[in-house]
């Protein structure tokens, strides 16, 4: 074999070995869209005006919840290997929100059926943690972490029914839809020499639905002791007020919420540095 032929054979051998040792493109596993469900507790205050059977007013509330959506995944190779491939966890959370709304309804007997809608605002956060796996351990690079959060503004709409237990106590049941908009998180690139690796980008649409029950106290005249005594003496009781729903009220509500959709966008393939 000539020197040139030997060199060519060696070059082919080295090239073949390098090809087998070269990192294989990996595919993402997991990272599906996620939503969540949580408890809900609210403090509410409002004021009603009544004109005949029509009741209209303004209401404001602040609610606390733990609406946290989490999605996670990892990158894998088609070739068996002891190499630890990167993994990622993305989470989005709504921990409180408030609303300022108008209400319009119609009353019959002790019931008030109403619709409501207005401004919504709340704290929304989105975080991402990308573990570089063996590559990061080898190079001494910490996991890539990013987070964004802040008060977001949106809208809300719903419907409910109030039941007047007496002149001062009101039982409430309500459904509502809340939309606080979309929050985005850009991908983060690893530092040198792993700059070919980057985390996924993520987004959350902080929209969710709620169902609540509650009890409110309406400020106003209570039933006078003379009413009961008048009944015992056979005297006619005074007529009920013509606008029993009118007035200021405060109360509390509890229930559940579900939604808060989070998504991640991963590259089609990922080249791992080995």
Do the domain assignments include residue 3?
no
Between 12 and 175, name the one with better pLDDT. Answer: 175
pLDDT digits (tens, 9 = 90+) for 202-253: 999 999 999 999 999 999 865 445 444 554 555 655 666 788 999 999 999 9
Average pLDDT over residues 188-197: 87
Residue-averaged pLDDT of the chain:
85
- Asked if residue 49 has pLDDT above 80, the reply is yes
Find the range with the poorest average confidence among 59-63, 74-78, 83-87, 172-176: 74-78
**CA 211 to CA 125: how far, in whole Å?**
23
pLDDT digits (tens, 9 = 90+) for 118-139: 999 999 999 999 998 888 888 8
Average pLDDT over residues 28-45: 93
- Asked if residue 262 has pLDDT above 70, the reply is yes
Between 198 and 51, name the one with better pLDDT. Answer: 51
Name which of 73, 90, 92 is nearest 31 in CA terms. Answer: 73
Do the domain assignments include residue 19?
no
What confidence score (pLDDT) does residue 159 get? 98
Do the domain assignments include residue 16?
no
Task: Name the domain count of the chain.
Answer: 1
Do the domain assignments include residue 106?
yes
Inter-CA distances, 129 with 145, 198, 261, Å: 4, 11, 18
- Domain range for 41 is 24-221+237-271
Do the domain assignments include residue 164?
yes
What confidence score (pLDDT) does residue 76 get? 83
Do the domain assignments include residue 1?
no
Do the domain assignments include residue 230?
no
Q: How confident is residue 19, by pLDDT bands cut at 50, 70 and 90?
A: very low
Inter-CA distances, 109 with 41, 54, 114, 168, 173, Å: 29, 12, 14, 15, 17
What confidence score (pLDDT) does residue 32 get? 85
Do the domain assignments include residue 226?
no
Tell me if the pTM is above 0.75: yes
């Amino acid at each position: 074999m000539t020197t040139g032929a030997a060199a060519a054979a060696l070059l082919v051998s080295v090239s073949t070995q390098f090809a087998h040792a070269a990192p294989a493109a990996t595919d993402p596993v997991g990272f599906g869209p996620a939503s969540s469900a949580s408890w809900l507790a609210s403090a509410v205050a409002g004021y009603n005006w009544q004109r005949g059977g029509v009741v209209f007013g303004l209401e404001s509330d602040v609610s606390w919840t733990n609406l946290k959506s989490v999605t996670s995944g990892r990158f894998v190779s088609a070739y068996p290997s002891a190499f630890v491939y990167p993994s990622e966890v993305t989470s989005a959370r709504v921990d409180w929100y408030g609303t300022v709304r108008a209400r319009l309804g119609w009353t019959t007997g002790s019931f008030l059926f109403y619709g409501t809608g207005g401004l919504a605002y709340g704290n929304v956060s989105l975080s991402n943690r990308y573990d570089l796996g063996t590559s990061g351990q080898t190079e001494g690079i910490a996991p890539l972490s990013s987070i964004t959060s802040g008060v977001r503004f949106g809208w809300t709409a719903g419907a409910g029914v109030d039941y007047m237990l007496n002149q001062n106590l009101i039982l409430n049941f309500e459904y509502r839809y809340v939309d606080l908009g979309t929050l985005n998180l850009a991908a983060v690139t690893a530092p040198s020499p792993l700059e070919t690796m980057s985390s996924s980008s993520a987004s959350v649409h902080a929209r969710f639905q709620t169902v609540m029950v509650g009890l409110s106290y309406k400020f106003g005249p209570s039933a006078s002791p003379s009413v009961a005594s008048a009944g015992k003496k056979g005297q006619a009781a005074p007529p009920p007020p013509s606008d029993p729903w009118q007035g200021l009220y405060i109360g509390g509500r509890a229930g559940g919420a579900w939604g808060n959709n989070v998504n991640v966008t991963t590259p089609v393939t990922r080249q791992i540095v080995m």
